[in-house]
Amino acid sequence: MNILITGSTGLIGSALISSFTTGEHQITRLVRSKPRPGMGEVFWNPQDGSIEMPGLEGMDAVVHLAGETIAERWTAEKKARIRDSRVNGTRLLSESLARLAQPPNVVVCASAIGYYGDRGDDVLREDSPPGSGFLAEVCREWEAAAAPAVQQGLRVVHLRIGVVLSPAGGALAKMLPPFRMGVGGRIGSGRQYMSWIAIDDLIGVFHYALTTESLTGPVNAVAPNPVTNLEFTNTLGRVLGRPTLFPLPAVAARLAFGEMANDLLLASTRVEPAQLLSIGYTFRYPELEGALQHLLG
């Protein structure tokens, strides 16, 4: 399979590239720097709307991951970059793919469970309404930006990705140093739900989305057993053999991280992967403790 991928250097992109090349797929990277000869790279710049259209021809599938990191304090400028990188990039890519003489069979776009917002104990499935807040607004616009590809008849899958667990990066990598030193603990009340997925399962979901013709539209890319932040904290401490006695109060989280704390650290999002379960996807790591034991050796 010839696969075009954006965001190939991030945590998910790097893992996907390794998986794709092991499977003997042909990979082309959409990059914002000058393409290197012989490296399978095609230039694009979502900021000014430029893209090398000839390099998009001949693709069987597209994986779209590119977007500004959200794991930093949100200033007005940062929020604009978060929104624009996702919405403008997705719109440019989908419009370009829709104009091809032979467009790809499938486009798998990253989205996020931030779509649902802070919803307490509610069980959220793909047909649940969107929530409120900055991330929910971004996710709605992000998914809507793929409309040109959908209207052209391409199969478009929006993977609403939860907290990705990997020691190589992301949330878990940031948690490990304090937890290993025995100074980790819950965030806020600890009652907020965390919908997570092990990196191995997420890569499996991407492969499944690329090859399963019946899968389309929003798909919750989370493990089937979400946990509260307190449960996550206690499980991580148990796997590491360390105490978890040092909570981060909600007020301290807000002082340290501002608005980001409300949307990322303190929001409760209890998500069920209803689409995946209904068509028979089997998770390798459906339970948190087994996932952490695997990931942390």
Q: pLDDT per residue over 128-183, tens digit each?
A: 999 999 999 999 999 999 999 999 999 999 999 999 999 999 999 999 999 999 99
Q: What is the pLDDT of residue 38?
A: 79
Q: What is the pLDDT of residue 21?
A: 85
Q: What is the pLDDT of residue 24?
A: 78
Q: What is the pLDDT of residue 106?
A: 98
| Cα 262 to Cα 65, 74, 195, 254, 266, distances in angstroms | 24, 11, 16, 7, 5
Q: What is the pLDDT of residue 171?
A: 95
What's the whole-model pTM score?
A: 0.96
Phi-psi region of 58 (alpha: psi -120 to 50; beta: other; left: phi over 0): left
Break the chain into its structural domains and give their ranges: 2-166+195-223+268-284
- 17: number of Cβ within 10 Å: 18
Class of domain 2-166+195-223+268-284 (CATH, top level): alpha beta
Q: What is the pLDDT of residue 143?
A: 98
Residue partners of 24: CB distance under 8 A and separation at least 6 = none
The DSSP-derived string for the chain is -EEEEESTTSHHHHHHHHHHHHTT-EEEEEESSPPPTTS-EEEEETTTTEE-GGGGTT-SEEEE------SS---HHHHHHHHHHHHHHHHHHHHHHHT-SS--SEEEEEEEGGGG---TT-EE-TTSPP--SHHHHHHHHHHHTTHHHHHTT-EEEEEEE-EEE-TTSHHHHHHHHHHHTT----BTTS-SEE-EEEHHHHHHHHHHHHH-TT--EEEEES-S--EEHHHHHHHHHHHHT------B-HHHHHHHHTHHIIIIIS---EE--HHHHHTT---S--SHHHHHHHHT-
Q: What is the pLDDT of residue 150?
A: 97
Q: Which of 24, 4, 10, 2 is nearest to 199 (CA)?
A: 10
Q: Which residues of the chain have pLDDT under 70?
A: none
| Cα 46 to Cα 52, 84, 91, 158, distances in angstroms | 11, 9, 9, 19
- Tell me the two tokens of residue 92: 């440019």
146, 88 Cβ separation under 8 angstroms: no
